[in-house]
Amino acid sequence: MEKVLILGSGPAGLTAALYCARANLNPLVIDGLEPGGQLTTTTEVENYPGFVDGIMGPELMDIMRRQAERFGTRYQFGTVAAARFAPGRHEVELDSGETLQATTVIIATGARAKYLGLESEQKLIGRGVTSCATCDGAFYRDQPIAVVGGGDSAMEEALFLTRFTPDVTLIHRRDEFRASKIMSDRVHHHDRIKIRWNTVVEEVLGVEQNEVTGLKLKDVKTGEHSEIAIKGLFMAIGHEPNTAPFKGQLDMDEVGYIHANQTRTNVEGVYAAGDVQDAVYRQAITAAGSGCMAALEAERYLETKGA
Ligand code: NAP
C-alpha cells in the first residue's frame, strides 16, 4: 500500500511530490493523459517567480519533475478510471485495469480545454479545430485562422499565432476582454490580429470537405449573420476540471470543481490541489502552492495515524 498516491503531474502534483518526497514518504505520481499538465502545451511563462527572463512551459515542467525525482518520487504512466475512497485504504483504478491502494491520495488531475459543443465543431476536431496553438500553430503558416475567447488564453493563443500568419481573427462574445490589461493591450495594438466583438460562432464550415473552410458567425447585438473563410479554429474559452472519476464520492460544485478546505476534501486522507479545486485563480504558481499545502496536510494526517 502506498503512503501517498498523487494523481496528476502538473505544477500541483509535482510540488506535492517534491514535498512528500523530501518528507521521506516515497510518493507515487500517476502521470495522467498529459504528463506535465497544461503548461506543456503553452509557450513562454512570464509570471512564474524565479525566472527573470521567463521560461518555456515544457522546460519548467521538466525541471519540476526532475526536482521531485531527485528526492525519490516515482512516476507511473496511466490515467485514473475510477476511485473508491474509504478512510485508511483508498483505492484508485487505472485505465490499464491495475488497482492501487493508498493511505492518502492527492488529486491534482487539473482541467482541460472547453469546446463550444456545436456538432460541426465536434466533427472537425483535429481537422482544423483545435485548442492548442503551440501544438498546431505551425500547420497554418500564412493561412487565415480564428481564435475564440476573450480571456488570457485567447490573447496568448492569438499573439502566438501571429508568428505563423498575418491573418488572425479573434472572436469574442462581448465588447470587452476578460483578459489582463497587459495581454489585452498587446492584442489591441497588433497589426496581424482583427477583433470581432459581440460575435459568436454558429457553425464551423467544412464538414463535407472534412476540413475547416470557414465560420458562420452571428453578431449578438445586431443579429446580423456573416461568414468568414479560415483554415484553422483555435478554441480558447476556458477549461473544465478533470474530476469525472470522483463524482459521487467527493463534494463538488455544479461544474465539477472539488470542494476543498485547505486542500482537504470531505473524505479523510483525500486532498485536492491545483485546478481541480480552483475555479478562480488557476495559475501555475497557485497550483504549486496548493500542491505544497496538500503534501503538508497528507504528511500531518499520516503522522496522526502513525503511518
Ligand atoms: P477564462 O479567463 O475563463 O476566459 C474564457 C473566455 O472564453 C472568456 O472571455 C469567456 O467569455 C469566453 N467563453 C467562455 N465560454 C464561451 C462560450 N461558450 N462561447 C464563447 N466564448 C466563451 O479562461 P482562460 O483564458 O483559459 O484563462 C484561465 C485562467 O488562466 C485565468 O485566470 C487566466 O488569467 C489564466 N491565464 C493566464 C495567462 C498568463 O498570465 N499568461 C495565460 C493563460 C491563462 P466572457 O468573457 O464573456 O465570459
What CATH number is associated with residue 165?
3.50.50.60
Contacts of 196 (CB under 8 A, 6+ apart): 169, 170, 171, 172, 217
* Same-domain pairing of 144 and 226: yes
Distances (CA, A) of 48 to 52, 157, 161, 205, 283: 9, 18, 22, 39, 9
Which residue among 237, 255, 281 has the greatest number of ligand 1 atoms within 8 angstroms of its CB, and so is best to mutate?
A: 237
Does any ligand 1 atom lie closer than 6 A to the CB of residue 299? no
* Same-domain pairing of 165 and 230: yes
Cell numbers that stand for 143 in this block: 493561412
Compute the distance from residue 154 Cα to the ligand 1 centre, in Å: 7
Q: Whose CA is nearest to atom 33 of ligand 1?
A: 152
| Domains: count for the chain | 2
What per-residue confidence (pLDDT) applies to 234? 98
Does any ligand 1 atom lie closer than 6 A to the CB of residue 149? yes
Compute the distance from residue 181 Cα to the ligand 1 centre, in Å: 13
* Same-domain pairing of 134 and 206: yes
* Same-domain pairing of 100 and 8: yes
Q: Where among 220, 235, 250 does a domain terminate?
A: 235
What per-residue confidence (pLDDT) applies to 33? 87
User: Hey, is 102 helix, strand or coil?
Assistant: strand
Compute the distance from residue 238 Cα to the ligand 1 centre, in Å: 5
Q: Which regions in the chain score pLDDT beneath 70?
A: none
The dihedral region occupied by 301, where left means phi > 0, alpha psi between -120 and 50, and beta the remainder, is alpha
What per-residue confidence (pLDDT) applies to 92? 98
* Same-domain pairing of 246 and 195: no
What per-residue confidence (pLDDT) applies to 82? 97
Cell numbers that stand for 270 in this block: 483525500
* Same-domain pairing of 262 and 300: yes
| Predicted TM-score (pTM) of this structure | 0.79
* Same-domain pairing of 230 and 276: no
Q: Count of H helices and E strands in the chain?
A: 7, 19
Q: Where among 187, 206, 235 does a domain terminate?
A: 235
Does any ligand 1 atom lie closer than 6 A to the CB of residue 238? yes
Identify the residue whose cell numbers are 504558481: 285
The dihedral region occupied by 263, where left means phi > 0, alpha psi between -120 and 50, and beta the remainder, is left
99: containing domain: 2-113+239-304
What per-residue confidence (pLDDT) applies to 274? 98
Q: Where among 235, 257, 288 does a domain terminate?
A: 235
Does any ligand 1 atom lie closer than 6 A to the CB of residue 47? yes
* Same-domain pairing of 197 and 291: no
User: Is the separation of the CB atoms in 198 and 218 below 8 Å?
Assistant: no
* Same-domain pairing of 123 and 224: yes
Which residue among 282, 285, 286 has the greatest number of ligand 1 atoms within 8 angstroms of its CB, and so is best to mutate?
A: 282
* Same-domain pairing of 124 and 201: yes
Does any ligand 1 atom lie closer than 6 A to the CB of residue 133? no
Atom of ligand 1 at shortest distance to CA of 200?
20
Compute the distance from residue 155 Cα to the ligand 1 centre, in Å: 9
* Same-domain pairing of 108 and 254: yes
* Same-domain pairing of 147 and 205: yes
Compute the distance from residue 107 Cα to the ligand 1 centre, in Å: 23
> Which residues carry out catalysis?
132, 135-136
